[in-house]
Amino acid sequence: MPRATNAVATKKRRKRILEHTRGFFGNKSRLYRYAVDAFWRAGCFAYRDRRKKKSEFRQLWIVRINAACRPLGMPYCRLIAGLNAAKITLSRKSLSELAIHDPEAFAAIVEKAKAALAGMPVAS
């Protein structure tokens, strides 16, 4: 009895992988053997970087806030301490957007943080 193969399913599986790797460089987009490795590797990077993106954006927002508040006479760490003392709960994303698009409002927030820090006792 001849060996039975399921060529339809095999071709469909291979075609699906090659469709996902279309646009990859070299043999990774043309040959199934290399496309499978590239497909799984790309999936691992995508999974990792969806999580990493959140911390990278937070770092960007902090850098922007620090760059905007230093000319106003206050470093980032003191600004955050002042906002906590003043009970102002703004995310770093919104603070960053304010610093870029509405510098007057950001300056007012910095002044409130300064006022809240001035009223706090200094730790010795």
Among 108, 106, 118, 58, CA closest to 82: 118
Work out the angle at residue 75's Cα, subtended by the Cα atoms of residues 66 and 109, and round it to the nearest 5 degrees. Answer: 75
Q: For residue 84, what are the CA distances in angstroms to 29, 55, 116?
A: 52, 21, 9
- Is 80 exceeded by the pLDDT of residue 121? no
Q: List the chain domain ranges.
A: 12-118
- Is 70 exceeded by the pLDDT of residue 123? no
pLDDT of residue 3: 84
pLDDT digits (tens, 9 = 90+) for 73-85: 999 999 999 999 9
Among 113, 99, 102, CA closest to 67: 99
What is the rounded distance in angstroms from the CA atom of residue 64 to the CA atom of residue 93?
10
The mean pLDDT of 5-24, rounded to a whole number, is: 95
Q: Name the phi and psi angles at 119, rounded to 5.
A: -85, -10
- Tokens 């399913």 correspond to 9
CATH class of 12-118: mainly alpha
Is the whole model's pTM more than 0.85, yes or no? no
- Is 60 exceeded by the pLDDT of residue 48? yes
